[in-house]
Structure 1
Amino acid sequence: MTIIGDWDVGIRTPIGSLQILYRFTERDGAVAGSAVGDAETVPLTDIDVDGPRVTWKQTVTRPMRLKLTFDVEVHGDALTGHSRAGRLPRSAVTGVRRVRHA
């Protein structure tokens, strides 16, 4: 699956830019994930991979409690798309896969 791995992701929100580490793994054919930020680590839910398109949901509590939905496309070691928190405007999402060193 194209999303598996660690990703350095930038999210441009109306209140500023965030840098988050996203970690996607595969176990028994299912994708799991987590988001690691400065303030907290949260699990990803409802991860759906459809070719290059990947969607998921997550809840954050800092700096405020929000339920986020993500919709991105993966092309090689890059991803682009957007996230949305309820009725707030969409936030641009870009990321690059971390290279694993042997």
Structure 2
Amino acid sequence: MIEDGLARIADPPSRRRDALLRTHGLRFPQSTCGDDRPPARQTSNHERGGSRMSIDGTWNITVKTPMGNQEIRLALQSDGKTLTGTQSTKDESIDIQDGVVEGDEATWSAKTSKPMPMQVKFTAKVDGNDISGTAKAGFFPASPFTGHRSDA
């Protein structure tokens, strides 16, 4: 019994921590430093100077609304955190408003007049040449959308 207690004291803190985490189905990421320090924060490809995932370009999206699928063509351009562009349907072409970009996520709104006048608020996430998110039109529930970059 004393030997068991001494063995626990002799265990390095990392082994005790790992054993505790394992009992709860968790694990601590392995350090590459050779000691008990947690690994350094991972940086994105953009932070390391690589190419960044950009929302810039032309996108064809399909919004699944309560009134059926709506096809929209987006022409988007970012400048820092500001997003500008146009949104076109078969009936109208309008400028987007209040556009914001943060990493691979973006938000904007558009005032449509067809099929009825209302403001639509979009939230999107870009993954390479794919885009997805939601469109919230007036009093309707948020509608999911997916799309692809058309100028890829």
- TM-score, normalization: structure 2? 0.61
Query: Paired residue for 1:84?
Result: 136
- Give the gaps of 5 or more residues in structure 1: none
CA distance in 2, matches of 1:79, 1:26: 15
Query: Paired residue for 1:42?
Result: 94
Higher relative contact order (CA 8 A, sep 6+): 1
Query: 1:79 is paired with a residue of what secondary structure?
Result: strand
CA distance in 1, matches of 2:127, 2:144: 16
More helix by share: 2
Deviates more, 1:36-45 or 1:17-26: 17-26
1:1-47: per-residue Cα shift (whole Å, max 9, x none)? 611000001000001001111001246x5431101111100000010
CA distance in 2, matches of 1:97, 1:23: 10
Q: Which has the larger radius of gyration?
A: 2
Query: Paired residue for 1:98?
Result: 150
- TM-score, normalization: structure 1? 0.89
RMSD: 1.4
1:69-95: per-residue Cα shift (whole Å, max 9, x none)? 000100100011101012311111111
CA distance in 2, matches of 1:72, 1:31: 12
CA distance in 2, matches of 1:55, 1:22: 13
Contact 2:61–2:71 (CA under 8 A) maintained in structure 1: yes
1:14 counterpart (47, 66, 72): 66
CA distance in 2, matches of 1:25, 1:80: 17
Contact 2:83–2:98 (CA under 8 A) maintained in structure 1: no
Q: Which 4+ runs in 1 deviate beyond 4 A?
A: none
- Give the gaps of 5 or more residues in structure 2: 1-52
